[in-house]
Amino acid sequence: ELAAAVEAAPAGEVILLPNSKNAILTAEQVAEATAKAVRVVRTRSIQAGLGAMVSFDSVRDASKNAAEMEGAAAGVRAGAVTRASRTTTLGGLAIEQGEFLGLVDGEPVTSGPTLEPVAREVVERIVGEATDVLTVLVGQDAEDVEGLTTAVRDAHPELEVEVHEGGQPHYPLLFSAE
């Protein structure tokens, strides 16, 4: 599918954003197998991919864009809240099936029966002194996002908080700190 998309692209140069550590190798193989000039920006999350896209400039060639996009993606801290599909222990964290699971850069950091405290813990772990913007992508099963964002704004008045409908089915909330 990726190779077909690359070949169908109207441009002679293409930049691929895998947005998953599991898709990076596939994207690199597509880059080698196609006749077009393809650059792979090794994004490991949707949030990093969105951060990379912000730095894209249609006037630059693919090499320069890829370099800028890699830098932008590297500056993104990604957080997510999902539901645990089974009872397990990950990285020393006990997680019950159906609980909310908080991830920072793909690693489990917290869990609990209600969304808001798990989401707040994730936000606190990704927001640092150099963070200017926190982007919240709201998924299908998110609840009380307004209350959450109000609490975040109260805790971090210097932080710009942007909220967008993402519609993602498996992650009620995705966070991007830049």
pLDDT tens digits for range 98-149: 999 999 999 999 999 999 999 999 999 999 988 999 999 999 989 899 999 9
Indicate the pairing of strand 13-16 with strand 88-90.
Answer: unpaired
**For 48, phi and psi rounded to 5 degrees?**
-65, -40
Q: How far is CA 65 from CA 15, 16, 62, 167, in A?
A: 8, 11, 5, 28
**pLDDT score for 175:** 98
**pLDDT score for 149:** 96
CA atoms of 30 and 175, how far apart (whole Å): 29
Half-sphere exposure (Cβ direction) of 69: Cα atoms closer than 13 Å: 29
**pTM, full prediction:** 0.89
CA atoms of 162 and 51, how far apart (whole Å): 13
**pLDDT score for 168:** 95
**pLDDT score for 103:** 96
**What residues contact residue 160 under an 8 Å CB cut-off, 6+ apart?**
132, 133, 134
Q: How far is CA 143 from CA 20, 63, 95, 162, in A?
A: 26, 41, 20, 17
Residues of the chain scoring pLDDT < 70: none
- Which token pair is 67? 């370099």
